Amino acid sequence: MVDTRFFRSAGSLRLSEIAALTGASIAADGTRVFSGVAPLDRAGAVDVSFLDNVKYVEAFVASKAGACFVRQKYAGRAPQGMALLITEEPYYAYALAAQRFYPELPLAAGISPQAVIAGSAAVGKGCRIDAGAAIGEHVTIGKDVHIGANTVIGDGVEIGDGCRIGALCSISHAILGKRVLLHRGIHIGQDGFGFAASKKGAVKVPQLGRVLIGEDVEIGSGTCIDRGAGPDTVIGNGCKIDNLVQIGHNVQLGLGVIIAAQCGIAGSTRIGDGAMLGGQAGISGHVQIGAGAKLAAQVGVMTDIPPGATYGGSPAVPARDWHRQTLALAKLAGKKEE
Amino acid sequence: MVDTRFFRSAGSLRLSEIAALTGASIAADGTRVFSGVAPLDRAGAVDVSFLDNVKYVEAFVASKAGACFVRQKYAGRAPQGMALLITEEPYYAYALAAQRFYPELPLAAGISPQAVIAGSAAVGKGCRIDAGAAIGEHVTIGKDVHIGANTVIGDGVEIGDGCRIGALCSISHAILGKRVLLHRGIHIGQDGFGFAASKKGAVKVPQLGRVLIGEDVEIGSGTCIDRGAGPDTVIGNGCKIDNLVQIGHNVQLGLGVIIAAQCGIAGSTRIGDGAMLGGQAGISGHVQIGAGAKLAAQVGVMTDIPPGATYGGSPAVPARDWHRQTLALAKLAGKKEE
Amino acid sequence: MVDTRFFRSAGSLRLSEIAALTGASIAADGTRVFSGVAPLDRAGAVDVSFLDNVKYVEAFVASKAGACFVRQKYAGRAPQGMALLITEEPYYAYALAAQRFYPELPLAAGISPQAVIAGSAAVGKGCRIDAGAAIGEHVTIGKDVHIGANTVIGDGVEIGDGCRIGALCSISHAILGKRVLLHRGIHIGQDGFGFAASKKGAVKVPQLGRVLIGEDVEIGSGTCIDRGAGPDTVIGNGCKIDNLVQIGHNVQLGLGVIIAAQCGIAGSTRIGDGAMLGGQAGISGHVQIGAGAKLAAQVGVMTDIPPGATYGGSPAVPARDWHRQTLALAKLAGKKEE
């Protein structure tokens, strides 16, 4: 069901293989063969689908998918003939199956004659550098790295093995760990917004730090990460950052922080391991977000947040208080006091 | 009054021609000749201007414009000698006149020797491809298409006749209809933000859909549109999307949806025909916005919105309730209970 | 303490020289020699640091910095042996010292053979134009200008002496004054979002103005500034604009306006001299923000703001009222009326 101009299945799998790969349990015939994945409303007899959100139960009931990852509690509503892959993590199981059907293609190594690479740059084995890429002096690029078209890498930058840098990115003053995935139009390492207010107006403060990006980090298109002012800006291993996010100078993200699109994190703020930020969240400078904290979309944070807490609203309050305030205000206004 | 380094009038028009072109009615001498358009405060005797916003009535009264599109109700306040073009749609009439005075220039066809075009790409007649553009394998480009400098088109992309793609864009996994206008630095078709939470951390979910863009769509600079996860991301005919907007995977926009700058639309949300979103609006994933709905700037939508409704606030409520809540809260706080 | 792959000190300074340069007063031995600057927690015996935020007093107490800019009131808490540079503007003094230690490097003039420059473009002395830059017809570039890699300059643009244009920017329909600093991925001069609603749908309104940028303006990565619709979009001298900001058509910024990341300013709004906008602030179209006004992060402004006022909240109210409303709502909800 995929568009073969853009994707190609690596081949068929038996139901029993899919179950073994994903840890799902099956009651149906394990020898049935499937050729790919598809969403519930588009899947056919040879496709595997998934149900992970109660909003799509009707689509599940009506689906023509040959097989489906599903929680036990919905199994009874499956259409006749659908082979059920029972799991309490259907989206995760689907991800594993989809990765197997459509594995990332191996990198076609080669350096475009239209790339411009400084003589002192070191490029590892198996790299692919596309047309128009500009690589500065003393840049170090590891093995099996892809540098997309028209991307610009500044002097001295280090890029670890297996990184995938999309088109039209700029990177300077930065050290990237292994397997970092940058989508497109990402700008890393520019000056932070550092001005000293004085009687003579705003004076520029030299930005003398770097951006340090860990391993297995993924960053979305259009996102900007400023370099440190003196300390470094640090993105921990396994962080996942969506599109159009702003990360100010000296920000430190712990391990596995998840940041949705259009969030803004002001300078010198620290975010603990595993914290999650909803879309368009804004966090002031110089605050600390505890490990595992969850911040709602459009939250406005101006103070420290304890570990594991869930906050919402602007200014941010604990989620329970936020919902209570929303209800109280609706009730107050409902009195039609105006 | 335009800067001739950047714009050039196609020639003069008589007042009667302007009236005929725009449907405005005139009382003045139809043979008067005008050479262009200009804003109220800069227009001279040979310029046509417009009044469409009550905030600019004073500028209208003081204007030296030779002619002006204006609603009947303001006609009495016109300065002496100004030829009035009476219409109930003055901004629309102005747009038609301005298009006539300053028509889009015909595309100067030609392929830059610094463009890099794959051998299997098909480029239609009359296209212009600027320096540094990189066109992938099996790309299909229609007739009279402009690809701006340093823009990157991924393998298999289809671009319809008459599209105008600005500089520094990236497009992959996408099908564009006719006459799509992309400004600059737009990123279309990258992976959606798809991770399955699991006990082993965030696992990447292959993004196997496309971006389908209809006809006569306009998209602003810096906007990002992720490709579908399995379903497609769909932008309907006639949609107008401003700068720095985020559109997540599987989002479906109906016909003629208007989205102001910096809005964010999370994954799998559907927006009905003719809906309008104010700036910095945020919409959660998996919700439905009805046709013709109007969402205020900075709204935060977490639930379905009925067709034709007007909502504001975060969390969003009907606009009437939003204003009532704003007043009630001001009144409550005015009691100085603190 | 800086990473010498990216930064290099211009040489050592005596404490007395640092004091003279910054106006700080010293009690310690003026002949002590320092080689650079560093943050409190990383500075060593030959580094100069600063304390400007009460949150970092503990880091000050524990610092191994050889010298430190500090206000008189914290002097008593300095660790033994630290040379104190007493000033009431420690961040400003630090900025001056850091500029001296790490001066901006002189531009290495030269035009890359991979740049594409139209025959009618005029490029001044001492310019550097990097690979992949595309310069249009009749462009005028002053002296000592840097045009970054893959940046695209449209026909007729004027760029003043000493400008620094980063990589991957696009500029059209614009006049830039002297010493403008653009970071990367900035898009200036595209069409504003101009559509006339009509019974026949949204009709495009030709955008016939320019972008006029004054002197000593700094603009962050990913920011978009649309050209005027007829009037010009104007950015006054000394404005500092952070990353991912949206500035609509006809907006006028006065002198020295400070705009934090991800702000959005809708069309035809005017902002007075020295106003300051917090991150993610949104301002509607056609309003006036008075000189010196301060707008909190995430503010939503729909009406004029008086000069010198401080506003917060969405919809915006005076900051005092905003805080009072926040407290009143918390108190109301605390009654657990739900």
Q: Is B249 a catalytic residue?
A: yes
Q: In what order do the strands lie in the sheet with C211-213?
A: C122-123, C140-141, C158-159, C174-176, C211-213, C233-235, C252-253, C270-271, C288-289
* ipTM greater than cut 0.85: yes
A215 close to C (CB below 8 A): no
Residue A228 has what DSSP assignment?
Answer: P
Tokens standing for residue C126: 């001492």
A109 in a structural domain: no
Strands (E), A38-127: 47-50, 67-70, 83-86, 110-111, 116-117, 122-123
Query: How big is the B-C interface in CB pairs under 8 Å?
Result: 185
C2 in a structural domain: no
Looking at beta carbons, which residues of chain B come within 8 Å of C119?
none
Q: Has residue B10 got a pLDDT over 70? A: yes
pLDDT in tens, B33-69: 999 999 999 999 999 999 999 999 999 999 999 999 9
- Average pLDDT value for residue range C171-181: 98
A48 in a structural domain: yes
B334 in a structural domain: yes
User: Domain check: are C174 and C92 in the same one?
Assistant: no
For chain C, how many structural domains are there in total? Answer: 2
Q: Which of B87, B150, B152, B295 to mutate to test the interface with C (most CBs of C within 10 A)?
A: B150
Looking at beta carbons, which residues of chain C come within 8 Å of A265?
none
Q: Which chain B residue's Cα is nearest to A224?
A: B222
The C-alpha atoms of residue B289 and residue B296 are separated, in whole angstroms, by 13
**Residue A176 dihedral angles phi and psi, to the nearest 5°:** -110, 135
The C-alpha atoms of residue A283 and residue A253 are separated, in whole angstroms, by 13
Q: Which of C203, C245, C250 to mutate to test the interface with B (most CBs of B within 10 A)?
A: C203
Q: Which of B88, B99, B262, B332 to mutate to test the interface with C (most CBs of C within 10 A)?
A: B262
User: Domain check: are C219 and C331 in the same one?
Assistant: yes
Which CATH number belongs to the domain containing residue A46 in this structure? Answer: 3.40.1390.10
pLDDT in tens, A167-203: 999 999 999 999 999 999 999 999 999 999 888 788 9
The C-alpha atoms of residue B20 and residue A305 are separated, in whole angstroms, by 64
Q: Has residue A336 got a pLDDT over 80? A: no
For C252-261, letters b (16+ CB in 10 Å) and e give bbbbbbbbbb
pLDDT in tens, A266-289: 999 999 999 999 999 999 999 999
Looking at beta carbons, which residues of chain C come within 8 Å of A203?
92, 95-96
The C-alpha atoms of residue B141 and residue B145 are separated, in whole angstroms, by 7
Last residue of a domain, one of C101, C132, C147: C101
The C-alpha atoms of residue C104 and residue B221 are separated, in whole angstroms, by 31
Task: Answer yes or no: do B155 and A53 touch at CB < 8 A.
Answer: no
Last residue of a domain, one of B43, B75, B101: B101
Task: Compute the Cα dihedral for C266, C213, A195, A278 and give only its sign.
Answer: positive
A80 in a structural domain: yes
User: Domain check: are C76 and C206 in the same one?
Assistant: no
B148 in a structural domain: no
A52 in a structural domain: yes
Task: Answer yes or no: do C190 and B168 touch at CB < 8 A.
Answer: no
Last residue of a domain, one of C84, C101, C118: C101
pLDDT in tens, A95-110: 999 999 999 889 999 9
The C-alpha atoms of residue B7 and residue C7 are separated, in whole angstroms, by 44
Element (H, E) at C26: strand C25-26
Nearest residue to B310 (alpha-carbon basis) of B120, B321, C116: B321
User: Domain check: are B212 and B299 in the same one?
Assistant: yes
Task: Answer yes or no: do A333 and B324 touch at CB < 8 A.
Answer: yes
Task: Answer yes or no: do B150 and C132 touch at CB < 8 A.
Answer: yes
Nearest residue to C226 (alpha-carbon basis) of B180, B163, A223, B243: B243
Q: Has residue A80 got a pLDDT over 80? A: yes
The C-alpha atoms of residue A99 and residue A13 are separated, in whole angstroms, by 12
Task: Answer yes or no: do B208 and A2 touch at CB < 8 A.
Answer: yes
User: Domain check: are C181 and C323 in the same one?
Assistant: yes
Nearest residue to A166 (alpha-carbon basis) of A211, A208, A122, A129: A129
Looking at beta carbons, which residues of chain B come within 8 Å of A102?
206, 208
Neighbours, chain C (3 or more CB pairs < 8 A): A, B
Label residue C96 left, alpha or beta by phi (over 0 means left) and psi (-120 to 50 means alpha). Answer: alpha
Angle at B183 between CA B180 and CA B184, to 5 degrees: 135
Does C113 sit behind a cis peptide bond, omega within 30 degrees of 0 on the bond before it?
no
A203 close to C (CB below 8 A): yes
Instruction: Give Dmax over CA atoms of chain B in angstroms.
Output: 79
List, as ranges, residues 145-174 from C with C-beta within 8 Å of B. 150, 152, 155-156, 168, 170, 172-173
For B71-84, letters b (16+ CB in 10 Å) and e give eeebeeebeeebbb
pLDDT at B43: 96
Which CATH number belongs to the domain containing residue C242 in this structure? Answer: 2.160.10.10
Question: What's the residue count for chain A?
Answer: 338
Does B106 sit behind a cis peptide bond, omega within 30 degrees of 0 on the bond before it?
no
User: Domain check: are B209 and B296 in the same one?
Assistant: yes
The C-alpha atoms of residue C260 and residue C269 are separated, in whole angstroms, by 17
C156 in a structural domain: no
Task: Answer yes or no: do C184 and A190 touch at CB < 8 A.
Answer: yes
pLDDT at A334: 87
Q: Which chain A residue's Cα is nearest to B325?
A: A333
User: Domain check: are B228 and B82 in the same one?
Assistant: no
| Domain span including residue C252 | 169-338
User: Domain check: are B257 and B336 in the same one?
Assistant: yes
Q: How many CB atoms lie within 10 A of CB C50?
A: 30
C333 close to B (CB below 8 A): no
Closest CB to C328 among B42, B167, B338: B338
Task: Answer yes or no: do B41 and C321 touch at CB < 8 A.
Answer: no
Task: Compute the Cα dihedral for A172, A174, A178, A179 and give only its sign.
Answer: negative
| Chain-centre distance for alpha carbon C76 | 34
Closest CB to A231 among C42, C220, C333: C42
- Annotated catalytic residue: which of C146, C249, C286, C323? C249
Q: Has residue A338 got a pLDDT over 90? A: no
Q: Are C286 and C265 in contact (CB under 8 A)?
A: no
Q: Are C205 and C168 in contact (CB under 8 A)?
A: no
Q: Has residue B279 got a pLDDT over 70? A: yes
Residue B303 has what DSSP assignment?
Answer: S
Nearest residue to A186 (alpha-carbon basis) of A235, A245, A254: A245
pLDDT at B338: 37
Cα dist. A258→B107, B282, C172 in Å? 44, 18, 37
B113 close to A (CB below 8 A): no
Q: Has residue C310 got a pLDDT over 70? A: yes
Residue C16 has what DSSP assignment?
Answer: H
Residue A264 three-state SS: strand
Residue A16 three-state SS: helix
The C-alpha atoms of residue A9 and residue A17 are separated, in whole angstroms, by 16
Return the minimum-mean-pLDDT range out of A276-285, C1-10, C91-100.
C1-10
Task: Compute the Cα dihedral for B55, B258, A223, A116 and give only its sign.
Answer: negative
pLDDT at B335: 57
